[in-house]
């Protein structure tokens, strides 16, 4: 009986030991959880301190995905999710996107107002920075820019649209009889191509002229920073003129689609004695 009682006593003691161990482990676990919670709180507080109050997160669009993929060369979209309040006015009028130019995906922005006016997507695409984007709005859509900014309670960051003079205002007669030239846009390779196309089409020049050394020297003299790769050659110019012609035809068709009355067109061809058309 004594042996049995001693055995029972040892069993009771051994059964009590795990409880003490479990209690200690639970206490340690609570300490770990408390430490983790404190660390998480500290981390959240640190993130709140470093967060820029002038930026807000927005869901990235498919166009922005293409924009950042073309800009970074990889699918790194984290940079595009922060929207600064400094460019809040621009986001009302431009969408980030990327389009193919001469076989290469180039990041840029697309003007919503140009699209609404019937321009093709590629003709509404710009690769400049915020300053050039506002310059485009100031030159092409000044009234709409000021109006839409006011509707969204956003302060305009371009010059105010000049108001029409009142009864007391006095202007020269040329202000009414002569078309006043607009502000000269900033230089870009896309703009250079546009002006070259205008020159060749308006003056009926041969495409071979653009490859003449004298013509290219003239362009390089006017813009010394240009390289040989920046100035288009005959094939590029020919392709650009054809694409411009097709886009203008599409635009004309879109314009007359909404006309409900009948439309008549008259074509009249004239030529000089030497068969030169005019």
pLDDT tens sequence across 204-239:
999 999 999 999 999 999 999 899 999 999 999 999
CB proximity list for 142: less than 8 A, separation 6 or greater: 158, 159, 161
| DSSP structure string for 44-72 | HHHHHHHS-TTEEE-PPPHHHHHHHHHHH
Q: What is the dihedral of CA 85, 90, 94, 98, to 10 degrees?
A: -60
Q: Are 126 and 99 in contact (CB under 8 A)?
A: no
Q: Which residue has the higher pLDDT, 103 or 18?
A: 103
**228 class by beta-carbon count within 10 Å (0-12 exposed, 13-18 middle, 19+ buried):** exposed
More confident residue, 186 or 52: 186
| Cβ within 8 Å of residue 132, ≥6 positions away | 126, 186, 188
Q: Which helix (H) or strand (E) holds 105?
A: strand 104-111
- pLDDT at residue 144 greater than cutoff 80: yes
Residue indicated by tokens 């390089």: 220
What pTM was estimated for this model as a whole? 0.38
Q: Is 95's pLDDT higher than 80?
A: yes
With beta carbons less than 8 A apart as the criterion, state whether 235 and 195 touch: no
Mean pLDDT, the chain, as a whole number?
A: 73
């Amino acid at each position: 009986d004594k042996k049995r009682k001693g055995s029972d006593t040892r069993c009771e003691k051994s059964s009590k030991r795990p409880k003490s161990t479990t209690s200690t482990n639970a206490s340690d676990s609570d300490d770990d959880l408390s430490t983790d919670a404190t660390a998480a709180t500290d981390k959240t507080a640190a993130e709140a301190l470093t967060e820029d109050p002038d930026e807000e997160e927005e869901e990235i669009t498919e166009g922005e995905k293409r924009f950042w993929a073309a800009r970074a060369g990889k699918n790194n979209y984290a940079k595009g999710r922060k929207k600064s309040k400094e460019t809040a006015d621009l986001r009302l009028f431009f969408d980030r996107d990327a389009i193919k130019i001469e076989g290469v995906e180039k990041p840029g922005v697309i003007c919503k107002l140009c699209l609404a006016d019937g321009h093709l997507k590629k003709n509404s695409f710009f690769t400049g920075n915020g300053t050039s984007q506002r310059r485009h709005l100031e030159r092409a859509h000044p009234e709409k820019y000021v109006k839409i900014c006011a509707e969204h309670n956003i302060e305009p960051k371009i010059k105010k649209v000049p108001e029409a003079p009142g009864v007391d205002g006095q202007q020269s007669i040329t202000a009414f009889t002569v078309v006043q030239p607009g502000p000269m846009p900033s230089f870009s390779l896309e703009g250079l191509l546009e002006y070259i196309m205008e020159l060749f089409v308006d003056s009926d020049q041969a495409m071979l002229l653009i490859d003449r050394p004298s013509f290219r020297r003239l362009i390089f003299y006017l813009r010394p920073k240009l390289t040989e790769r920046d100035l288009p050659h005959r094939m590029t110019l020919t392709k650009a003129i054809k694409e411009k012609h097709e886009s203008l035809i599409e635009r004309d068709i879109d314009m007359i689609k909404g006309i409900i009355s009948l439309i008549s067109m008259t074509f009249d061809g004239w030529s000089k004695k030497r068969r030169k058309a005019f």
